[in-house]
Amino acid sequence: MSDAFDPTAYDAEVTRAGNVVEVTVPTEATPVRIDKYLTRFYPQASRTKIQRSIKQGHVKVNGADVKKSYPVEPGDQIVCRLIQPPPLSADPEAIPLDVVYEDEHLLVVHKPAGMVVHPAPGHRSGTLVNALLHHVDGASVAPDDEAAADDVGLSMVNALPARPNHPVVRPGIVHRLDKGTSGLLVVAKRDTVHRALAAQFKAHTIDRVYHAIVWGRPDPPAGTVSGAIGRDPNHRQRMAVVPPEDGKAATTHYETIGALTHVAHMRFQLETGRTHQIRVHARHMGHPVLGDPKYDGARVRYGTQSGSRRRFFTNLFETMPHPALHAHRLGFTHPATGEHLTFTADWPEDVAAVWARLQKAGE
């Protein structure tokens, strides 16, 4: 059986009703795996999602269940009900919020590690946006809304999905921090302020300094890492340094603040702002961020592999269940007043406690 898609599938008789598709396979069709065949009728759905629907019995061929590898035959009657998640929205939630600065135009907040910045599939509540909406007494926001910033209390620039297969709701969000990263974020209340701040980010004039604990002792102790960042070809759930034509240019400056035997306290300054940039560049240097499971930092990387030492670090990772990465300083020009503002925030108590234990242990 050929695994290529048969172009005559486009001639199938198709009836749609919501998320249900009924297909009569044309008599000229060549056998094709059913999971591949159905992707043509759900262009916004992944093949994995279609396979999941097949496994759960939501796809019938001639009235019977089939496996994902079933070869579609001419004349088959297919009924597929693709499981759809409930509509995404952002609702105000009374979540504690550490506001460092606020005026009528913007806020600067200190995000804790473990908090997702905005609602998206898999994180529909408990996000920074939910907390912000409650803080500004704003209205709920849904993808089909036409609400203005004055109604919501936060900027609506880029707040709604740009395309059907990119369901995110992010009023006020000018830039992001990863879920496991703590630290400072600026949030826009007004659309004009959002656009002005976004322009500063694009021009690389925003001052962003991070502190981190990394594995090993970088040599030289200070320098610059430049390397395009794109999707890791061997691990699609993370990013990597890739050839320039396969990613976006990225530059990170680093400096060692304090070095122990096997770990170091680092200062990173971003020149660009790519996805996972510091985590990717640190791993590329051979010094992944301590406690970062995605980028090989949540296991012993330097020093002996004794059982007692592995237990020591396992205990540390339980104390600090996130990467030791913190957005320490944020500086920008206020779009409304023209004043240059700079804010700093100490890293979380759990990271400080881990560094103290590493010092005491002579790590």
Question: What confidence tens digit (pLDDT) does each residue in 145-192 have?
Answer: 666 667 789 999 988 876 655 667 899 999 999 999 999 999 999 999
The arrangement of secondary structure in 204-363, i.e. its CATH architecture, is 2-Layer Sandwich (3.30)
pLDDT of residue 43: 64
Mean local confidence (pLDDT), 39-66: 82
- Whether residue 1 is predicted with pLDDT greater than 60 in this model: the reply is no
Please report which confidence band the pLDDT of residue 17 belongs to, taking 50, 70 and 90 as the band edges: low
Mean pLDDT computed over every residue of the chain: 88
pLDDT of residue 86: 65
The one catalytic residue in 137, 178, 207, 292 is: 178
pTM score = 0.78
Q: Which part of the chain is CATH 3.30.2350.10?
A: 87-203, 204-363
Q: In terms of pLDDT, which residue wins out, 227 or 161?
A: 227
Mean local confidence (pLDDT), 297-304: 95
pLDDT of residue 6: 39
Window from 223-227, 229-233, 234-238, 336-340 with minimum mean pLDDT: 234-238
Q: Is 178 assigned a catalytic role?
A: yes
Mean local confidence (pLDDT), 63-80: 87
Please report which confidence band the pLDDT of residue 19 belongs to, taking 50, 70 and 90 as the band edges: low
- Whether residue 297 is predicted with pLDDT greater than 80 in this model: the reply is yes
pLDDT of residue 2: 38
Most confident of 15-19, 74-78, 357-361: 357-361
- Whether residue 127 is predicted with pLDDT greater than 90 in this model: the reply is yes
pLDDT of residue 10: 47
SS (H, E, C) the chain: CCCCCCHHHHHCEEEEECCEEEEECCCCCCCCEHHHHHHCCCCCCCHHHHHHHHHCCCEEECCEECCCCCECCCCCEEEEECCCCCCCCECCCCCCCCEEEECCCEEEEEECCCCCCCCECCECCCCHHHHHHHHCCCCCECCCCCCCHHHHCCCCCCCCCCCCCCCCCCCCECCCCCCCCEEEEEEECCHHHHHHHHHHHHCCCCEEEEEEEEECCCCCCEEEEECCEEECCCCCCCEEECCHHHCECCEEEEEEEEECCCEEEEEEEECCCCCCHHHHHHHHHCCCECCCCCCCCCCCCCCCCCHHHHHHHHHHHHHCCCCCEEEEEEEEECCCCCCEEEEECCCCHHHHHHHHHHHHHCC
CATH number (3.20.20.370, 3.60.15.10, 3.30.2350.10, 3.40.50.10860) of 87-203 reads 3.30.2350.10
pLDDT > 90 in the chain, percent: 63
- Whether residue 8 is predicted with pLDDT greater than 50 in this model: the reply is no
Which CATH number is associated with domain 7-81?
3.10.290.10
Please report which confidence band the pLDDT of residue 5 belongs to, taking 50, 70 and 90 as the band edges: very low
Please report which confidence band the pLDDT of residue 88 belongs to, taking 50, 70 and 90 as the band edges: confident
pLDDT > 70 in the chain, percent: 89
Contact 215, 263 (CB under 8 A): yes
Q: Which part of the chain is CATH 3.10.290.10?
A: 7-81
pLDDT of residue 12: 65
pLDDT of residue 139: 84
- Whether residue 291 is predicted with pLDDT greater than 70 in this model: the reply is yes
